[in-house]
Amino acid sequence: MIELLLLIPLVTTFLLYPMRHKRAVEAISVLASLITFAATIYLAYQVYYHGTIDEGLLYMDALSTYILFLIALVGLVANLYSVSYIGLELKDGTIGKSKLRNFHLFFHLFIFTMILVGVSDNLGIIWIAIEGTTLASAYLVGFYDRDTSVEAAWKYLIICSVGITLALLGTVLLYASSVNILGGASDALSWSTLMDPTVLANLDVGLLRIAFILVLIGYGTKVGLAPMHTWLPDAHSQAPTPVSALLSAVLLNCAMYGILRFHLIISGSAIGPEFSSNLLLLFGLLSLATAAAFIVLSKDYKRMLAYSSIEHMGIIAVGFGVGAPLAIMGALFHMLNHALTKTLLFFGAGNILQRYKTREITEVRGLVSAMPATAILVIGGALAIVGCPPFATFISEIMILAGTIMEGDLLVAALYLGLLAVVFAALLYQVGRMVFGDAPDMEQGEISKWRPVLMVPLLAAIGILGLWMPNVLETALEQMTSLFMGGMT
Amino acid sequence: MNLIDGLAATFLLIAILAVASGRVLSLVRLYSLHSIVLGITAAAVAALTNAGHIYIVAALTIALKGALIPWGLRYVIEKIGVHREVEPLVPLPVSLLICGVLTALSFYIVQPIVTGHDILETITKNSLPMSLAVIFIGFFMMIARKKAITQIIGLLIMENGLFMAAYAVAYGMPLIVELGVFFDILMAAIILGLLAFRINRTFDTVDTTILRRLHD
């Protein structure tokens, strides 16, 4: 069954290749996203009720199912949005027909590589898949024929490839650390073999430490942890907006998933959880600080959203770094909340970009009168992203804070709270500048009435999750948290 | 055992020569040679440890990295009409000096693991500091050279060093992982080559220092 989940997006890319007709391309693309989503839900149901699925090279436990759910969900909404977004670009002549087809083709190839990250049992294959996400999305980042797009794509490829090379070295060292006990067997890199308590206890400690540092720097480049984040604002601002949403909401989580798998191995080994947690905490706080500074200074709203993603990855890293059950649960919950909110905000940014034709914050004025529906949704999204109650982001950020205080890390708690306050003020100020004032002389109104219809459920979901957590989600979060607390589920 | 050490030393030497080379085409030739030495090392490891699957990896290394990728790079260079000089940001003599420092540094970092208590029991463990040095040197080359092509070669040299490190610590990786990594490297090389074309078409140069438009 898991093979099927991998096959859907892969077959779609081949199906799309000979397509010429715009409607047919869009129909197949959306249909494929729907089937991917349905298959993910079915598998999630299986994992939820019958426990981990282990099919040799393919493996799904609660944690990977959660990541897959995010991929399929954001993939579906981003695909629906891109029908309108990329369709408009075709209509106004920014791109040609073959580019529209290529967009959907690479979109599904990108989804395929991300799903491969989620379903692989072997940490080596996870590496291959994460490098694959870079390669598949490079085309989407450099989608437009602009000089800045080429620059962003080049930087993206070079920086992420170098980073990920270090992660491969880390993976090799993990393999070497297991040779003593597993004797270089071909499944020596597989998660289910490594998590056996007797294996964990016998992994070589010296090699494992170096391995984790390399993996944290390597995959951390992809997560956008400071100071390896420099590709991220460029790529997010240059990519077509639906792709920015996908990069920000799920790609970063996929890379974080790679780090978490290593974090779990290190925590279970003789080193103990202290070492990797402290490193996660350090990089998390550094990312928070860097992002806060750049959000204050930002001039381009898509770059501002990109820095906000760095900030939220920092928050998630802090949550896992703190290590209290409540903080870990908060960090996991925050992955979902950030994905929903950031997708909503990037869709809003896409509407603004196609109406105002600029990415400069100072040139966008009077959003409320020009595009009332988008304006309201963007205000709601902005309040959610800075963690205002009653939104779910508030709950998850408070969970992390409470976990930190319970652990007695008062310095961390103070830094975390202070930096969140800076982002709160800066981001709302920037959005306020765009929303109010007099709209410039241009065409008014929404670009398409379908776009707000697509965005409302996202905002509603973040609102509802803030007030009421469904049983399914709560149990899933508890299952994952227990994985981090040392219990195998 | 001495055979492996000798090959690893040659491997390091070629990487340093690549930093010293002033011509783009000779850089490609050195990369090809570098990969062939890596392939021979893999074959030697296979022979010494009786691990049959490593022969496949050795053959693939020589075919892909020793022949196919260099051929592709030469094609890109001729198509674009890249100037012959590498245009270093750091002058060549200084670069060589830095290579020396990087080599010393990697010995300093890794030697304790190699000679210390029985962490590594591979016959190839002496080549670990040298492969780490190659990774550093490849990274340095990416920073210190202007052209897109030289950055690609720097990345590829880094990856060669990584494979050597994998032989040093664990006789390489499981076959399926190794094949997947090959596929990724090949794809990365192709995509970077295509992007170099686009950079040339957009900016009429492959000098990457021109890529400074995106900033805060």
Distance of residue A219 Cα from the nearest chain B Cα, in angstroms: 16
Which candidate from A155, A173, A237 shows the least CB-CB separation from B211?
Answer: A155
Which residues are registered as beta bridge partners of A120?
A: A58
Provide, rounded to the nearest whole percent, the portion of chain B with pLDDT above 90: 58
What is the DSSP code (8-state) at residue A228? S
Distances (CA, A) of A340 to A128, A200, A346, B128: 27, 36, 10, 45
Q: Is A337 or B216 the better-scoring residue by pLDDT? A: A337
Domain count, chain A: 1
- DSSP run (H or E) holding B32: helix B24-49
**A131 with B159: Cβ contact below 8 A:** no
What number of C-beta contacts closer than 8 Å exist between A and B?
Answer: 127
Distance CA(A379)–CA(A445), nearest Å, equals 17
Confidence of residue B216 (pLDDT cuts 50, 70, 90): confident
Distance CA(A343)–CA(A353), nearest Å, equals 15
Which residues are registered as beta bridge partners of A255?
A: none
Q: Residue ranges of the alpha helices (H) in A92-146? A: 97-119, 123-141
In tens, the pLDDT along A246-259 reads 999 999 999 999 99
pLDDT of residue A212: 96
Provide, rounded to the nearest whole percent, the portion of chain A with pLDDT above 90: 83
Check CB contact of B115 with chain A, cutoff 8 Å: no
Distance of residue A236 Cα from the nearest chain B Cα, in angstroms: 11
**A168 with B162: Cβ contact below 8 A:** yes
pLDDT of residue A405: 95
Check CB contact of A233 with chain B, cutoff 8 Å: yes
Is residue A245 situated within a structural domain?
Answer: no
Check CB contact of A162 with chain B, cutoff 8 Å: yes
Distances (CA, A) of A205 to A208, A213, A259, A265: 5, 13, 18, 11
**Mean pLDDT score, B36-65:** 91
Q: Give the highest mean pLDDT range of A30-44, B49-63, B125-139.
A: A30-44
End-to-end alpha carbon distance in chain B: 53
Using a CB-CB distance cutoff of 8 angstroms, which residues of chain A are in contact with residue B113? Answer: 206-207
Beta-carbon contacts of B41 under 8 Å, excluding residues fewer than 6 positions away, are: B4, B7, B8, B11, B127, B164, B167
CB contact residues (below 8 A), chain A span 65-124, against chain B = 122, 124
**A172 with B208: Cβ contact below 8 A:** no
Is residue A489 situated within a structural domain?
Answer: yes
Among residues B211, B93, B97, which one has the least CA distance to residue B151? B211
Which candidate from B151, B169, B188 shows the least CB-CB separation from A173?
Answer: B169
Among residues A434, A431, A418, A139, which one has the least CA distance to residue A292? A418
Q: Is A303 or B173 the better-scoring residue by pLDDT? A: A303
pLDDT of residue B213: 81
Check CB contact of B2 with chain A, cutoff 8 Å: no
Task: Encode B142-179: b = buried (16+ Cβ within 10 Å), e = exposed.
Answer: bebbbbbbbbbbbbbbbbbbbbbbbbbbbbbbbebbbb
User: Within 13 Å, how many C-alpha atoms sit on residue A334's CB side?
Assistant: 30
**A157 with B148: Cβ contact below 8 A:** no
Reduced to 3 states (helix: H, G, I; strand: E, B; else coil), residue A252 is helix
**A148 with B174: Cβ contact below 8 A:** no
**B177 with A128: Cβ contact below 8 A:** yes
Distance CA(A43)–CA(A48), nearest Å, equals 8
Backbone φ and ψ for B85, nearest 5 degrees, come out as -80, 150
Using a CB-CB distance cutoff of 8 angstroms, which residues of chain B are in contact with residue A186? Answer: 174-176
Residue A488 reports pLDDT greater than 60: no
Distance of residue B91 Cα from the nearest chain A Cα, in angstroms: 22
Distance CA(A274)–CA(A266), nearest Å, equals 9
pLDDT of residue A180: 74
Q: Is A407 or A489 the better-scoring residue by pLDDT? A: A407
pLDDT of residue B51: 81
Cis before A227 (ω within 30): yes
**B148 with A154: Cβ contact below 8 A:** yes
Provide, rounded to the nearest whole percent, the portion of chain B with pLDDT above 70: 98
Between helices A62-91 and A22-50, what is the axis angle to 10°?
Answer: 170
**Mean pLDDT score, A123-146:** 94
Q: A184 to chain B: nearest residue by CA?
A: B170
Check CB contact of B113 with chain A, cutoff 8 Å: yes
Which candidate from A138, A147, A303 shows the least CB-CB separation from B191?
Answer: A138
- DSSP run (H or E) holding A434: helix A410-435
pLDDT of residue B117: 60
**A299 with B171: Cβ contact below 8 A:** no
**B155 with A158: Cβ contact below 8 A:** yes
**Mean pLDDT score, A142-151:** 92
**Mean pLDDT score, B182-207:** 90
**Mean pLDDT score, A86-99:** 92
Using a CB-CB distance cutoff of 8 angstroms, which residues of chain A are in contact with residue B169? Answer: 172-173, 175-176, 207
pLDDT of residue A95: 92
Distance of residue B169 Cα from the nearest chain A Cα, in angstroms: 6
pLDDT of residue A6: 95
Residue A31 reports pLDDT greater than 80: yes
What integer best gives the mean pLDDT of chain A? 93
Distance CA(A107)–CA(A25), nearest Å, equals 12
Asked if B199 and B82 count as a contact pair (C-beta separation under 8 A), the reply is no
pLDDT of residue A489: 36
Confidence of residue A441 (pLDDT cuts 50, 70, 90): confident
**Mean pLDDT score, B86-96:** 89
pLDDT of residue B87: 81
Confidence of residue A343 (pLDDT cuts 50, 70, 90): very high
Q: Is B129 or B83 the better-scoring residue by pLDDT? A: B129
* Domain housing A301: 272-489
Residue A243 reports pLDDT greater than 70: yes
Is residue A335 situated within a structural domain?
Answer: yes
**B184 with A132: Cβ contact below 8 A:** yes
- DSSP run (H or E) holding B29: helix B24-49
Check CB contact of B135 with chain A, cutoff 8 Å: yes
Residue B118 reports pLDDT greater than 70: no
Distance CA(A456)–CA(A169), nearest Å, equals 44
| Type of residue at B76 | V
Is residue A450 situated within a structural domain?
Answer: yes
Confidence of residue B12 (pLDDT cuts 50, 70, 90): very high
Domains in chain B: boundaries: 2-210
Least confident of A173-182, A278-287, A342-351: A173-182
Distance of residue A295 Cα from the nearest chain B Cα, in angstroms: 10
